[in-house]
Amino acid sequence: QSVVTQAPSASATPGQRVTISCSGGSSNIGRNAVSWYQQLPGAAPRLLIYNNNERPSGVPDRFSGSRSGTSASLAISGLQSEDEADYYCASWDDSLFALVFGGGTRLTVL
């Protein structure tokens, strides 16, 4: 059981906006930056968001991140079929002195 939790699944139809949430505590998300990763089926993970809301070059602006208190969110607008993947959040935890990943959310594009 991770100290950072995500809903195991989410779904939406093409063109919609979907939000994936990541819930933590005061020792992780509440005080440290959050990053988000996309893992397509059979592929390695890819960085989508770092430092809560910054996008690396090459990541479409359909992907956006935010943090509020001890929770963080990844929003995907204009959903496309190729967005069907597992999404993970991560944050440093000062109590565990470890980087913690959320359990992942599997996004299905209906």
Which spans of this chain sit near another protein (rule: CB under 8 A)? Answer: 2, 33, 35, 37, 39, 44-47, 50-51, 56, 86, 88, 90, 92, 96-104
Q: Which is nearer to another protein, 14 or 70 (CB)?
A: 70
Q: Which is nearer to another protein, 78 or 105 (CB)?
A: 105
Of 6, 88, 3, which Cα lies nearest the Cα of 40? 88
Bridge partner residues of 75 (DSSP): 19, 64
Sign of the Cα torsion 80, 58, 66, 97 reads positive
Q: How far is the CB of 13 from another protein (least distance, A)?
A: 26
Q: Which is nearer to another protein, 25 or 103 (CB)?
A: 103
| Identity at 1, one-letter amino acid code | Q
